[in-house]
Chain A
């Protein structure tokens, strides 16, 4: 393992300290490990809180700021935050209008956020939870923990964040988040495994000439392993997996995210985006907005994910609304 580390044990705290130094507009509490907007909760606005294991940066801390999250609670690498930590984030985000929790569908996240929501309710805080489950690589939710939450988390946080900024009430903001999740599907392919600082070696073994098709953002296995093929063929499979799971009518507009998993150069991501655009055009789908870059990563995993969100009523307007965070900034 070669990483910029002082020690594996201090990795998260050291990284958060650097994040705090780089972003004086945000407030980082090293004791609770909660990142908030420096001004605190915005009076009258519904709070938006998310969190999860670290290692997916810029998710979630990089999305704290005007127009998106009010607070984020990063757990240990690939480990969900604990309930006390989520509760601290809810308290910081709550202005009296209630708080929406954006939770990726992973067993640990679901349990810890559920316990936190119960603790918050005990304190009289109003909380709604939006569960993100967009990864179509998981097909059979009867025999699994259900579809995983991945790239659509970014879309839910941006669009629900804009709805909150515009003064939507608790139920409306949560409903917006759920509609975005329902309209979104993702699929990822890994070329290499990521390495956690604690483990010190790659999370799974992938032969030099093979790829993991349908990989999860912690390196969970996907649908199958395949031999490495030309990008056009790999991308075609990704687009088809997404559209087969949730068909998009010809002529509909979508938001597309081609997301790097941490170890893939931007040039390759653009190459992938070009293939995605061509394949979607073949299928009559119109790309209204796009993002290309590292947003929901898996440490240093090489690979990418594709997220397609059908632009339902109001989504594009909310997507275009101003946002001012470390990782997403426009209209300001």
Chain B
């Protein structure tokens, strides 16, 4: 992954969030307060603007800058959580063109940052339920020598599967937790948007045709 790929990843995420804005809002209206689509759309639009001519030369710098933009633009819980994920990943990612293993390690650091800030564990019906299996798949792919595009596709599939798996869960963190049993039967909006983030990475890596 180089700085351009990091930029195109986040641009793809911004486009995906805009396209899926209404679905995210609908999911959030069912078990939250119905602003997830609008908040993420505002946030990733700010990310795209911040990265338009930012002069970053490494993917780590791009991710840190994107994370800072999310934290300062979104509010709510999703801004600090996504912002922390990208900043923590960016700080971990050294060099101008790190390989799949380094990217997997960086996103592991991102996941750790999310868990430290939000305190959520797998099974709590949060973004962690998509993020954790995605990172696991990314690490496994990298360990088997897959290129970034292939590893990211596996991660995107795992994230989507993880998001679907939140449907029967009972929320234990965030606003949905107040619903108790009434939170079951709905996909968690944070897990759904995390699935978009990993799909955007796979799509961007595919387009870049990155070699292992």
Q: Which residues of A contact B (CB under 8 A)?
A: 53, 75-84, 106-108, 111-112, 114-115, 137-138, 143-145, 148, 196, 198-199, 203, 216, 218-222
Residue of B with least CB distance to A113: B80
Contact B81 A196 (CB under 8 A): no
| B74, A218: Cβ atoms closer than 8 Å | no
A320 → chain B, closest Cβ, in Å?
Answer: 35
Given contacts A82-B71, A218-B175, contact A108 B29 (CB under 8 A): no
Query: Which one of A79, A137, A203, A219 contacts B75 once the chains associate, using CB atoms below 8 Å?
Result: A79
Tell me if B73 counts as interface (CB < 8 A to partner A): yes
| Interface bin, chain B | 20 to 34
Q: Which residues of A contact B184 (CB under 8 A)?
A: none
For the complex formed, measure the closest distance between the CB of A118 and the CB atoms of chain B, giving whole angstroms.
11
Any A CB within 8 A of the CB of B99: no
Cross-interface CB contact of B79 among A112, A145, A203, cutoff 8 Å: A112
Report the Cα distance A98→B26, complex, angstroms: 42
Q: How far is the CA of A143 from the CA of B170 in the complex (A)?
A: 9
Check if B19 is an interface residue, CB within 8 A of chain A. Answer: no
Taking a contact as CB atoms closer than 8 A, the residue among B72, B81, B172, B182 that contacts A111 in the complex is: B81
Identify A203's interface contact among B34, B73, B74, B77, CB under 8 A: B34
On B, residues with C-beta under 8 Å from A are 25, 29, 33-35, 38-39, 71-81, 117-118, 170, 172-175, 177-180, 182
Contacts of A111 in B (CB 8 A): 77, 80-81, 117-118
Contacting residues, chain A, for B182 (C-beta < 8 A): 221
Are B35 and A198 closer than 8 Å at their CB atoms?
A: yes
Distance between A220 CB and nearest chain B CB, rounded to angstroms:
4
* Docked-complex contact B178 and A220, CB < 8 angstroms: yes
**B12 to A: closest C-beta gap in Å:** 24
Report the minimal beta-carbon distance from B76 to chain A, rounded to whole angstroms.
4
B35, A107: Cβ atoms under 8 Å? Answer: no
Nearest residue in B to A199 (C-beta to C-beta)?
A: B34
CB of A330, distance to nearest CB on chain B (Å): 33
**Are the CB atoms of A144 and B72 closer together than 8 Å?**
no
- B178 touches which of A75, A80, A221 (Cβ 8 Å): A221
Among residues of A, the one whose C-beta sits closest to the C-beta of B126 is A107
Closest to A115 in B: B80
Q: Measured between alpha carbons, how far is A199 from B30 in the docked complex, in Å? A: 13
Inter-chain CA distance A198–B25, complex, in Å, is 11
* Residue from B75, B170, B172, B173 in contact with A75 in the complex, judged by beta carbons closer than 8 Å: B75
Partner of A115, one of B71, B76, B180: B71
**Which DSSP category, helix, strand, loop or mixed, fits chain A's interface?**
loop
14 contacts between A and B (CB under 8 A): A75-B75, A76-B35, A79-B76, A82-B71, A82-B74, A111-B81, A112-B80, A137-B178, A144-B180, A145-B177, A196-B35, A203-B33, A220-B175, A220-B179
A198 neighbours in B (Cβ, 8 Å): 35, 38
- With contacts A79-B35, A112-B79, A199-B29 taken as known, whether A107 is within 8 angstroms of B175 at the C-beta atoms is yes
Which of A79, A218, A221 is in CB contact (< 8 Å) with B39?
A: A79
User: Is B178's CB under 8 angstroms from A108's CB?
Assistant: no
Tell me the minimal C-beta distance from B112 to chain A in angstroms: 16
Question: Which partner residue on chain A sits nearest B73 by CB separation?
Answer: A82
* A-B pairs, 9 with minimum CB distance: A144-B177, A108-B77, A108-B76, A111-B80, A79-B75, A220-B178, A79-B76, A107-B77, A84-B72
Q: Do the beta carbons of B178 and A216 come within 8 Å of each other?
A: yes
- Nearest CB in chain B to that of A87: its residue: B72
Chain B residues, CB < 8 A from A144: 172, 177-178, 180
**Most A C-beta atoms less than 10 A away, residue of B34, B39, B73:** B34
CA distance A203 to B179 in the complex (A): 14
Given contacts A79-B35, A111-B117, contact A145 B173 (CB under 8 A): yes
Across the interface, which residues of A come within 8 angstroms of B172, CB to CB?
143-144
Closest B residue by C-beta to A221: B179
List of A residues within 8 angstroms of B78 by Cβ? 108
The residue in chain B whose Cβ has the minimal distance to the Cβ of A216 is: B178
Q: Tell me how far the C-beta of A132 lies from the nearest C-beta in chain B, rounded to whole angstroms.
A: 16
Q: A108-B79, A218-B33, A221-B182 are in contact. List 8 more A-B contacts (CB 8 A).
A: A75-B75, A75-B76, A80-B75, A82-B79, A84-B72, A115-B71, A145-B177, A220-B179
CA distance A108 to B33 in the complex (A): 12
A8 and chain B: residue at smallest CB distance: B38
Chain B residues near A80 (CB-CB < 8 A): 75-77
Task: Please measure, in the bound complex, the distance between the C-alpha atom of A163 and the C-alpha atom of B177, giving whole angstroms.
Answer: 35
Residue with the highest number of chain B CB atoms closer than 10 Å, among A75, A112, A145: A145
